[in-house]
Amino acid sequence: MSLPSEPSISTPDPLATAPKAKRGMSRNQKILFFVTGWLIVLMPFLFWWNTWFGRHLSDQQMTEYLHDDKKPRHIQHALVQLGDRMSHADANAKRWYPDLILLANNPVEEVRNTDAWVMGQDTSAPGFHETLVKMLADPAPMVRGNAALSLVRFGDATGRPQIVALLQPAHVMAPAAGRITDSDRPGTSIREGGLIAKLAPAASSQIVEIRSPIPGRIRSVAQAGANLGQGSELAVIDPATEQVWEALRALYLIGQPEDIASIQPYERDLPDVSNDVRQQAEQTEKAIRTRNEK
């Protein structure tokens, strides 16, 4: 009698059943990963490096930047650097003074604005005083204001009305009848030229962007869906603290009794008025009254 055969037991192939090892990144993938990470770090640095006005410019770069009409930011960078040299009585800065006078007519508002400030750093320069007086008629309120502030350094109070205007809120009017499609929120800080709202004109399909004429804080703005007529008030912008501070300091020297009404709102104990501004407003009013009593 034959014995029954034992059931066959198949032995698993360890090579067939072992889990496959995870495949590592290829050399090209590692390089791509490294380059991507490097760019994530580099790009913000390059943006900061190219927009930071504190970066030192050589004399050659100064000349190149002042004449770079294709990049207004370059001109502004050079102007800020030049203003710093002038404030430190750098005699070499005078070589670029003719450029400052020419830039008073630059088509870019930000360039003219910075230029007006820089010319106030040297009251002995020929041509600066006359150029600043002409800039009091500039179409941009901030350019007029900076020109007026610089003129105070020359002992010239011609721009006093423009300085008083720096204390006033900016009332932005609708350029055409239409509907607000989007707008910022009241209380938001905004830079000069910052977007306030978008308007869809009734007579056009093209959206109009409404921008702030001054730096400051949005006091009020028409909200999305509002229908406005041409010339109606769209927004009110309160001036920035730095702007108010500089205006008050100038009026401390040249202010008149009729300016006190514009100064007193900054003497109130309000959240939007800093202690420094409030104290300066009080000192400015006191100085004006003291001058008027003599």
Domain 170-239 listed as CATH 1.10.1740.10: no
Model confidence at 72: pLDDT above 50: yes
Q: Where are the domains of the chain?
A: 47-165, 170-239
Model confidence at 4: pLDDT above 90: no
Higher pLDDT, 86 or 53: 86
Q: Is residue 181 within 8 Å of 198, Cβ to Cβ?
A: yes
What HEC string does the chain produce?
A: CCCCCCCCCCCCCHHHHCCCCCCCCCHHHHHHHHHHHHHHHHHHHHHHHHHCCCCCCCHHHHHHHHCCCCCHHHHHHHHHHHHHHHHCCCHHHHHHHHHHHHHCCCCCHHHHHHHHHHHCCCCCCCCHHHHHHHHCCCCCHHHHHHHHHHHHHCCCCCCHHHHHHCCCCEEEECCCCEEEEEECCCCCEECCCCEEEEEEECCCCCCEEEECCCCEEEEEECCCCCEECCCCEEEEEEECHHHHHHHHHHHHHHCCHHHHHHHHHHHCCCCCCCHHHHHHHHHHHHHHHHHHHC
Tell me how far apart the 2 most distant CA atoms of the chain are, in Å: 143
- Looking at the domain 47-165, which fold is it? Leucine-rich Repeat Variant (1.25.10)
Question: Could you read off the pLDDT of 225-281 as tens digits, one per residue?
Answer: 999 999 999 999 999 999 999 999 999 999 999 999 999 999 987 778 889 999 999
- In terms of Cα–Cα distance, which of 88, 90, 91, 152 is closest to 116? 152
Is the overall model pTM greater than 0.85, yes or no? Answer: no
Gyration radius from the chain CA atoms: 31
pLDDT tier at 46, thresholds 50, 70, 90:
very low
pLDDT tier at 35, thresholds 50, 70, 90:
low
Model confidence at 52: pLDDT above 60: no
Model confidence at 32: pLDDT above 70: no
Model confidence at 184: pLDDT above 60: yes
CA 249 to chain CA centroid, Å, is: 22
- What is the total residue count of the chain? 294
pLDDT tier at 203, thresholds 50, 70, 90:
confident
